[in-house]
Amino acid sequence: MISRRLRLKSSIIAALSILLLTSASVGQAAEEPHHLRFAKGDNVTTLNPALSAETTVGLLSQLTMAYLVRYDKSNRPVPELATVIPTEKNGGISADGTTITWHLVTERSI
């Protein structure tokens, strides 16, 4: 019973938060560039996707972080902060497989 009440209370608080945030942000998006507004019913404990298993953190990190490599629709690696994907053929992976060398882009804005 308490668990059900707690979930209901959390849902109501989340709905009210979303309502307040969306009504407060109407018309301000063009005036305030580079602001990210996000509402979630639970507390976000970290924005580091390596330290969290929450789907929400993963989605937020895609908006706010860059990675060495991302993956395309065919699940193939595509460089983002790296200039090239290391392979044995291009010398990025040593012959014995113990060393991987990443070459990074020199300038990048997210």
- Domain ranges in the chain are 2-65, 67-110
Beta-bridge mates of residue 71 = 77
Beta-bridge mates of residue 78 = 70
pLDDT digits (tens, 9 = 90+) for 15-74: 666 666 665 555 555 565 667 666 666 666 666 656 666 676 667 777 777 788 888 999
pLDDT digits (tens, 9 = 90+) for 91-105: 999 999 999 999 998
Using alpha carbons, select from 70, 59, 63, 19 the residue that is nearest to residue 41. 19
pLDDT digits (tens, 9 = 90+) for 71-86: 899 999 999 889 999 9
Q: Are residues 86 and 92 in contact, defined by beta-carbon separation less than 8 angstroms?
A: yes
Q: Are residues 40 and 13 in contact, defined by beta-carbon separation less than 8 angstroms?
A: no
Q: Are residues 60 and 82 in contact, defined by beta-carbon separation less than 8 angstroms?
A: no
User: What is the identity of the amino acid at 44?
Assistant: V
